[in-house]
Amino acid sequence: MRKKHLFRQYVPALAMLLILTVVFAAGSPQFLTVRNLSNILMQTAPMCILAIGLTFVVLCGHLDLSGGAVIAMVSVISGVLLKANVPVPAVFLLAILLGAGIGFLNGFCVALLGMSSFILTIATQIMVRGGAMAISGGRTLYGLPEAFLLPGMGTLFRIPVPVLLLLILFPVMELVLRRTVFGYQVIAVGEDRRGAQMAGVNSPLVQIECFTLAGVFYALAGIILTGQLGAVVASCGEGMEMTALSCIAIGGISLSGGRGNLVGTFLGCLIIGFLGSGINMLNLSPYYTNVIRGMVIFGALLMEAGRILLQKHREGEYDV
């Protein structure tokens, strides 16, 4: 029964993905080639990895709008450390710790101080983005070591490293969500925070862990994006958290928490990636990209709302 319910959850996203595939494949024979599909995954990898972390925050009942700013700060701080001749492995570690630290502070303020996650993370976004611009002076930093660029531009077994990371991280984190105590606690806290606390779940700790985990994924996305750009750009990642949130919504994940999984997030990421690639291949004006993306998001949300209303109607019939 649960598997049937999960499949129904994916129906809007799967239908949207199928429609886009048919339309774009009909318009360009190059759309469904292995090379183009690989390029889509490569280009959307930082956003997809950000979306993995953000999914955990959303599932536990919160929002985090600081992801793009954390990406920028990680990029800038990494550049500063590299220019100071800090070894690349140490820079990777410090970048991850920086993301985790920002996430921890967000989680602490939300879970223990009772701050609104929406307002708090907007403030975090402004501060962190401003800090990145101040540290870099708004300048682009080139000449990064080749070893630091590998997560963004390298290949392993002829597969781009960002794509390989996606293919590993999505299923691994889906297993964490579905098969571990932590995953069950995340869903429980998102469904009913007070009820989960009464059942013995340390609700504040779970929320802090979700924000901290998200920060780790934001930092990883920052490392990959910096590698893809081949330079430190303080404005990188701007608006990426909203795109990731769109992917989550398209994937059928409840933005109020407690329902959804990473399969839905992955489908949402594919839809956004297909949109960008298809629009380019059909030579449509880039100015229409956001319009079409908004229409797709609205369509997916409309289908999801219809599914929820139908489910409530059936439950009402069963109750009678």
Are the C-beta atoms of residues 188 and 196 closer than 8 Å to each other? Answer: yes
In a domain, 319, yes or no: no
pLDDT of residue 221: 96
What does the block give as tokens for 118? 């929406």
Number of residues that make up the chain: 320
User: 153 lies in a domain?
Assistant: yes
pLDDT tens-digit profile of 143-194?
A: 899 999 999 998 888 889 999 999 999 999 999 999 999 999 999 999 989 8
3-state secondary structure string across 251-291: CCCCCCCCCCCHHHHHHHHHHHHHHHHHHHHCCCCHHHHHH
Any domain includes 40: yes
φ, ψ of residue 141 to 5 degrees: the values are -105, 120
Strand partners for 159: 156
Q: How many domains does the chain have?
A: 1
Residue 10 pLDDT class (50, 70, 90 cuts): confident
Q: Is residue 315 part of a domain?
A: no
Kindly report, residue by residue over 259-289, the tens digit of the pLDDT.
888 999 999 999 999 988 888 888 877 777 7
316 within domain boundaries: no
| Residue 107 confidence (pLDDT) above 60 | yes
What pLDDT band is residue 7 in, cutting at 50, 70 and 90? low
Instruction: Report the C-alpha gap between 14 and 268 in whole angstroms.
Output: 9
Is 70 exceeded by the pLDDT of residue 4?
no
Query: Is residue 320 one of the residues assigned to a domain?
Result: no
CATH of the domain at 127: 1.10.3470
* pTM for the model: 0.91
Range of the domain at 281: 2-309
Dig out the tokens for 221 from the structure.
């996305």
- Asked if pLDDT for residue 6 goes beyond 80, the answer is no
144 in any annotated domain: yes
11-22: pLDDT as tens digits: 778 888 898 899
3-state DSSP assignment of residue 85: coil
State the number of CA atoms in the 13 A half-sphere of 146 facing the CB: 2
- The Cα-based distances of 125 to 100, 171, 210, 216, 249 in angstroms read 15, 29, 18, 16, 21
Output the average pLDDT for the chain. Answer: 89
In a domain, 24, yes or no: yes
Burial (0-12, 13-18, 19+ Cβ within 10 Å), 198 = exposed
Report the alpha-carbon distance of residue 192 to residue 126 in Å, rounded. Answer: 31
pLDDT of residue 318: 46
Query: Residue 97: what pLDDT?
Result: 98
